[in-house]
Amino acid sequence: MSAKTDILKSIRQSVGEDRGAELPVNRDYCTSLGLDPEAKIHLFIDRLVDYNATVYRTDHAGIAATVAEALGVRGKRGLVIPSGLPSEWLPNGFHFTVDRDLDYDTLDAAEGALTSSTSAIAFTGSIILTHSPAEGRRAISLIPDYHLCVVFESQIRETVPEAIRGLKDRRTSPITTIAGPSATADIEMMRVKGVHGPRTLDVIIVAA
């Protein structure tokens, strides 16, 4: 008998064939915090700052200038960008390399990556990537040591359930949730920020 047959048979022996109706799951936990829009954004920013991310706020017309500002602060001359990133987000005077299957060593040598995002969670300070053309494949926001990420205010959800439910048609894309730069507390429980993922995360929040 195959392993699959054996395992399924063993489960059926253990739980029996007569299962009755599916057991109910009560979902009366919070799905909303009832915050007004500005309070929600503030909560998100508080969480990001708590994770040591630097946060910028701008409007749609100001994205390119804010990218330039962030790069200036970090002393960067250029970034890797995904192929679907809107070109109007890119300021002059910097070098942007479009990811057309760049090899890992090139990504490792890059100064950082600029990507869009799918949504965010205010309550936990999470950013969610589903790796659409404007967010790029997973490797580009992972290998370089710096990630500059654009989040639109309209994409910020209050709670984890709200964000998970909002993924609907993106559920089977690769999904990465990011809550601050990588970290470890494996040595004497002292939190060290920056292990293998990008050690620096900056976030540009764009008004609707």
Residue 3 binds another protein, judged by CB under 8 A: yes
Q: From CA 126, how far away is CA 43, in angstroms rounded? A: 11
Which residues from 25-84 bind another protein, rule CB under 8 A?
25-30, 47, 51
Count the alpha carbons within 13 Å of 175 in the hemisphere toward its beta carbon.
17
Q: Which of 190, 156, 175 is nearest to 48 (CA)?
A: 156
b/e sequence 61-87, b meaning 16+ C-beta within 10 Å: eebbebbebbbeeeebeebbbbeebee
Residue 175 binds another protein, judged by CB under 8 A: yes
- Give the residue, chosen from 88, 95, 108, 207, that forms a contact with another protein under the rule CB under 8 A: 108
Nearer to another protein, 76 or 147 (CB): 147
Residue 167 binds another protein, judged by CB under 8 A: yes
Nearer to another protein, 28 or 36 (CB): 28
Least distance to another protein from the beta carbon of 50, Å?
A: 9
Which window, 11-19, 36-44, 57-65, 111-119, contacts another protein (CB under 8 A)?
A: 11-19
Check: CB of residue 56 under 8 Å from CB of residue 203: yes
